[in-house]
Amino acid sequence: MGGLDLPNRYNVAADLLDRNLNGGRADKIAIHSAGGDVSYGELFKLACGAARTLKELGVRREERVLIVAYDSPGWVAAFLGAIRFGAVPVPVNPLLQRSEDYDHFIEDSLAKVVVVDGATEEKLQPAADRAAEPPLLLRAGQIAVEKEVEPAPTRRDDMAFWLYSSGSTGKPKAVVHLQHDIPYTCVSYGEQVLGIKESDTTFSTTGLFHAYGFGNNLTMPYWVGASTVLHAGRHTPATVLDTIEKRRPTLFFSAPTLFNAILNFEGSRSRDLSSIRHCVAAAESLPAEVWRRWKEAYGLTILDGVGSTEMLHIYCSNRLDDVRPGSSGKAVPGYELKILDEEGKPVPAGDAGDLYVKGDSALALYWAQHEKSKRSILGDWFFTGDRYRVDEDGYYWYEGRSDDMIKVSGLWASPIEIESALLEHPSVAESAVVGVEVNGFTRIKAFVITKSGVEAGDGLVTALQEHCKSKLQRYQFPHMIEFVSELPKTVTGKIQRYKLREKEATPASA
């Protein structure tokens, strides 16, 4: 790909900061946050301090460092400091509710150190104590500055960092990325689609632990010397609008659900979004109606696209001068796409099939998941698990998941997990869970067969929803429940969820 020529010896964390110091931007603000502004020069010293601290704590090259914290300068310093030192940072969602939710990440990563903050330390300490080899906890806000730490002589094809991705069954999988993957996304999407510039200020409502937010609010802005806005905690329409008016970002990244929530928020159309020049949506499909309402309300175009943890960022996107509302656009420069049927043959024009993507930001492998890696990485091509069709003009249209996974508000929900939780309730005999469209957005619907003698009704609906919330993450409960007498199945007894989805082509509003 043009514009990307990396030497064999390459450390991406050193590149992202050193390029700004060498470019005379040491005094320029890299991060705006509630805790204060941080310049590129200060961030460099924080990252060097993190590198020094990790080394003193006994972390060695290529050992993992778990990061479970909200977005902050300390988060960024821990991530970049780990790579600078030659270790492998592993960001994890800080919003998980239970301490037990983190046991898998500690065990799977074999992390020697877990970076936490004041909001996550209480959850992580019991998880660390339970581990076979308990890791040390390091507060992100307590990282001291260091004048200089020489970057490790890593290579462009060395392991650099992991991100976790949910699967249709089982526990989250670690997606292994290499040093050169970040620059590839910065040039392909950041420069050639987004047109990000040094003068930009980015604001992403998706956190840094997520591939989408990580590219939006860290790697791409640092690549060109732009500034970022970090907001710790959950985002609501009120906090988003307040942040935009206060920080005046020029590039705004969010998920379709939040774009819609902002439009529906009282008084939102009178708020000042004039600083923004581009908006970007990803993590779930953006309904055409939301695109049109946003354009009408603020005069701003939302660039909708599709990416994945495995490909690191967006690989198919609309452009400012080439938009088809409701579609995922066309392949990003540097990526190739193809749609195949179940036998691996190209589908006829206009038909839906499995989407495959080719590009050099693709994962190296799934950690300790050899069979999964072989099924998903087919030579230069990655099997996305998404079903798509391409129209006569070359735009790609999302048609659902190949593996029945459900994406709600940008987060993956496994129907199998929800079904298992429902089956633990004493009133449930059988269940099947699917994603259905409600006003252009995906919602979770459960079909339930009750046990003999159990009275189905609104009371049981509420009870089952609360039961799921207590067993799973808060967003994984069924928004709708329909009681049925039977479920569609194959001759071998496997539930045919696609028949339930077809039945719900026009569901009632949630």
CATH of the domain at 457: 3.30.300.30
Structural domains of the chain, count: 3
| Closest CA relative to residue 447, chosen from 398, 420, 486 | 486
Question: Do both 185 and 161 map to the same domain?
Answer: no
Question: Considering only CA atoms, which of 176, 114, 144, 204 is closest in space to residue 366?
Answer: 176
Same-domain status, 224 and 291: yes
User: 398 and 410, same structural domain?
Assistant: no
| CA separation for the pair 408, 475 (Å, rounded) | 8
- Is position 1 within any domain? no
Q: Is 69 part of a structural domain of the chain? A: yes
Question: Domain ends where: 125, 144, 171?
Answer: 171
| The residue count for the chain | 510
Domain stops at, among 128, 150, 171: 171
Give DSSP secondary structure letters for 68-95.
Answer: ---SSHHHHHHHHHHHHHT-EEEE--TT
Q: Are 224 and 366 within one domain? A: yes
Give, for all 510 residues of the chain, the pLDDT tens digit. Answer: 544 789 999 999 999 999 999 999 999 999 999 999 999 999 999 999 999 999 999 999 999 999 999 999 999 999 999 999 999 999 999 999 899 999 999 999 999 999 999 999 999 999 999 999 999 999 999 899 999 999 999 999 999 999 999 755 568 999 999 999 999 999 999 999 999 999 999 999 999 999 999 999 999 999 999 999 999 888 999 999 999 999 999 999 998 889 988 998 999 999 999 999 999 999 888 889 899 999 999 999 999 999 999 999 999 999 999 999 999 999 999 999 999 988 899 999 888 889 999 999 999 999 999 999 999 999 999 999 988 999 999 999 988 777 778 888 888 788 878 988 898 899 998 889 999 988 889 999 999 999 989 999 999 999 999 999 998 888 889 999 999 999 887 554 567 787 888 787 644 444
Same domain, 467 and 361: no
Domain boundary (352, 387, 402) is at 402
Residue 2 within a domain: no
The answer to whether position 510 is within a domain reads: no
Instruction: Encode 464-485: b = buried (16+ Cβ within 10 Å), e = exposed.
Output: bbebbeebbbeebbbebbbbbe
- The CATH number that applies at residue 157 is 3.40.50.980
By CB atoms closer than 10 A (0-12, 13-18, 19+), residue 338 is middle
**Are 216 and 185 spatial neighbours (Cβ–Cβ below 8 Å)?**
no
Q: Are residues 251 and 156 part of one domain?
A: no
Instruction: Tell me if residue 441 falls in helix, strand or coil.
Output: strand
Residue 509 located in a structural domain? no
Q: Are residues 226 and 361 in the same domain?
A: yes
pTM: 0.85
Report yes or no on 508 lying in a domain.
Answer: no
- Domain around 335: 180-402
Q: Does residue 466 share a domain with residue 364? A: no
Q: What is the CATH number of the domain that holds 322?
A: 3.40.50.12780
**185 and 239 belong to one structural domain:** yes
- Would you say residue 271 lies in a domain? yes
In a domain, 89, yes or no: yes
* 275 plus 163 within the same structural domain: no
Examine the domain organization and report whether 132 and 101 are in the same domain.
yes
Same domain flag for 106 and 219:
no
